[in-house]
A and B are shown apart, each in its own frame.
Chain A
């Protein structure tokens, strides 16, 4: 018999919240929209494979197109957006739906609620993104037979790791924004599409962005034009991993602290 005067153990509580949150996240209209977005590169890969070589003289090899899709589409745009729309909603949806009370009145620690929800976010977004990347890779890299496929495999493995890391770090940041702000989406969009452009500036400023560290970890270096090309810099891999890991820990710790101490008043 459980001692009802003490809260449910952290692990059990987080797992329970995880199950509940996963059910809500996977079967939602948001997931349908995100699946369509994340599936776009797969469609581009199919179009390239089926139509383009016959119609147009391709300027890009399949591997270059794959690299471009990973860097510009997944890493720079799609996955940060996916993280923004899921992670900012982890708590905000409960507040908006006025269902947070039901969670907070349970005998579970608030950190366990956030941990379970964040784990559900990670499981959902990885389930959406990684199969799409694998499919894009195989559709493009097998378009000229098996030649060159083996040589590109280390890049696929690296890309999968970096994209998973991108979902983690952006997810942690937007979870923090979600517990900190009432309307976190606009500041999140500002961060993604204004602040992150600082990554293209010279000097030390790119180190204040997340994208500079993430794009330094992938090996694809698509040619850029203009200022980006002139000032493009690649940061050392060890530094990138250290900074990104620290960012995940700091953002999640801050989010957990704010969530556990904040007073939520449901509007009637």
Chain B
């Protein structure tokens, strides 16, 4: 073999080893989900689910956003609700909850169709005892061997329910939805896979996002189809209908939001992009009063890709600070304890 062929072969080996290593990392990735970012238990959600949103609690808690805006996490500045919750149930959401998935079913089901899946590490005994002893009007029933806690049983809106799908997953929602999810999970069924449209949207979600949401046309049909035009006097700007939307967001190292909306055709996508650009331009017109708004407007980019419109927003934390209302400086302005005596 000539020296040149050896060089080419060595390069191929480097690329080959890299690709095999990368595929190994993909295969062994602990965060590898069943469909896109949705965990395996999420596939037990009913097939008529119309939107799903996810929230990576661990990433959120570790983010600069949380460090800035949540105050002292474990000390005296901690939210009283969290302190109370931990005392009663042993659950510290910042420490014990890994991920939350919220799903909504067909609009005809109303708010009762919503389901929440919370994954993490739960002290089942303490949590169950807390539900049974400290919640008023709670009853229990067994559904396929799983204990279901029912709240507001007999009310006109129907009972709310909570149950452990397994040691690590808590499901909450309306009684029929929770029971359907338990049955699907116990039977090893994955009815969500039958919802090909939603599954396709989930597969398009950027991996590793702190929060994400996907929704199909039935959810978006409730959105207004026009906006008041800047000229006023009843004038309005028509918004082209959106067939689906995918949103992903990250909080480290900047607040980043990426939205992709799918319009009916390329022309509608262009119109939609123009509407968004118009709104961004309106925001920058306010820059005379608040210069930081101009910076915020320039943090938004809008592009089209055939029938899709991509909106990207990247906001540094310094900009968020400048947009936040100014709080009076307490340390210097506050009178000293002895003052005024």
Contact = CB atoms under 8 A, between A and B. Distances in A.
B11 A58 contact: no
B301 A223 contact: yes
A234 B277 contact: no
A138 to B, nearest CB: 7
B8 A137 contact: no
A146 B18 CA distance: 14
A137 B14 CA distance: 13
Interface string B1-18: 011110110111011001
Given A134-B19, A223-B314, A234-B304, A150 B29 contact: yes
A127 B18 contact: no
B15 A149 contact: no
B40 to A, nearest CB: 16
Contact of B21 (A138, A225, A230): A138
Contact of A232 (B8, B12, B303, B306): B303
- Interface size bucket, A side? 35 or more
B5 A22 contact: yes
Contacts of B26: 150-151, 153-154
Interface string B186-225: 0000000000000000000011100000000000000000
A156 B27 CA distance: 15
B112 interface: no
B17 to A, nearest CB: 8
A97 interface: no
A61 B306 contact: no
The interface residues of chain A, by DSSP majority, are classed as: helix
Contacts of B303: 221, 229, 232-234
A232 B301 contact: yes
Nearest to B11: A127
Given A149-B25, A150-B25, A150-B31, A130 B15 contact: yes
A63 B10 CA distance: 26
A147 B208 contact: yes
Contacts of B207: 148, 150-152
A119 B21 CA distance: 28
A19 B1 CA distance: 11
Interface string A218-229: 000101110001
B275 to A, nearest CB: 14
A27 interface: yes
25 contacts: A23-B3, A26-B3, A59-B254, A127-B8, A127-B12, A128-B11, A130-B11, A130-B15, A135-B18, A149-B29, A151-B29, A151-B207, A152-B208, A153-B25, A154-B26, A156-B18, A157-B22, A221-B303, A221-B312, A223-B312, A225-B298, A232-B303, A234-B306, A235-B305, A236-B305
Interface of A: 19, 22-23, 25-27, 57-61, 63, 123-124, 126-128, 130-131, 134-135, 137-138, 146-154, 156-157, 160, 216, 221, 223-225, 229-230, 232-236
Interface of B: 2-5, 7-8, 10-12, 14-15, 18-19, 21-23, 25-29, 31-32, 206-208, 250, 252-254, 277, 298, 301-306, 308, 310, 312, 314, 316
